[in-house]
Every structure is written in C-alpha cells, then in structure tokens.
Amino acid sequence: MRKEGVLQAQIELAVPFFDVDMLEVVWHGHYVKYFEEARCALLDKLGHNYRHMREAGYAWPVIDLQLRYIRGAQFGQRIIVRADLVEWENRLKIHYLITDAATGERMTRGSSVQVAVEIATREMLLASPRVFVDAVERAIS
C-alpha cells in the first residue's frame, strides 16, 4: 500500500465520451487530466491553489509523473480520483488513486512531483517557499 498523505481530496466524475477510444475505454493520456483535477481540489483544500502560487511569485512545474494502469475506465463509468499530499517541504509530491465509484475497485494509481520556480528569475528553488509550507501547516493543524 502506498503512503497515505497528510491531507487528501477527492473528486467524482463520469467518464465522458470524448475521453474514450473506439472500444469505449479511456485513452491512457486522459488519466493525467483526472489527476490534475484531483490535484486542483487538493490545492483548493490547502487554501493555496495555482492562482495563489502565481500571486506569491512561484510556478510549480511537474518534473516527474508516474502512472500504473490496473484496469481501464469505460465510457459512462463513475470514478473517484483521490489525491494525497505526501511531501511539501522541498518539493510537492502527490499520490493519486482512481477507483470505481460503485465497487471501490482500484483502477489506476500514480504520483506527481512538482518543484517551485521563482517566476521573476526562472530559478528552481531547493526548498518550497515559506508561503506554501505555511499554507500546508495551517491546513493540517
């Protein structure tokens, strides 16, 4: 089992027709989009989403992305996408889990790593900005 995060958020969605192939199975690249939706929900829950990040002067590009496909989602299927915050002090690492909403069956898992980049200088930071760390600490306390 993967490490559970200090804070979680989840979304539920029905797989839309435009995300599937001719066999009505979700095209593999769309899982990244589902992860992003859950990550945005998690950042909103932190109170420090992408708008706040930009206003604080930082961009957070994804530098690593891992996915493990277990079972393909199908057109119309309701799925739960969960995002778990597992690291935040030096980088932002999030674990993801996609499950079938009706059965709880695990379908896909993954993780992403993002790092802070100062927008003004385009320099990558070796530690997360204090404004972000403070937001996490407020959310988990």
Look at residue 50 and give its three-state secondary structure.
helix
Residue 91: Cβ within 10 Å count = 18
The pTM of this model reads 0.95
pLDDT by residue, tens only, the chain of 141 residues: 577 899 999 999 999 999 999 999 999 999 999 999 999 999 999 999 999 999 999 999 999 999 999 999 999 999 999 999 999 999 999 999 999 999 999 999 999 999 999 999 999 999 999 999 999 999 999
**Structural domain boundaries of the chain?**
7-140
Q: Which fold has domain 7-140?
A: Thiol Ester Dehydrase; Chain A (3.10.129)
How far apart (Å, rounded) are the C-alpha atoms in residues 58 and 121?
Answer: 10
Q: List the structure tokens of 78.
A: 């309701």
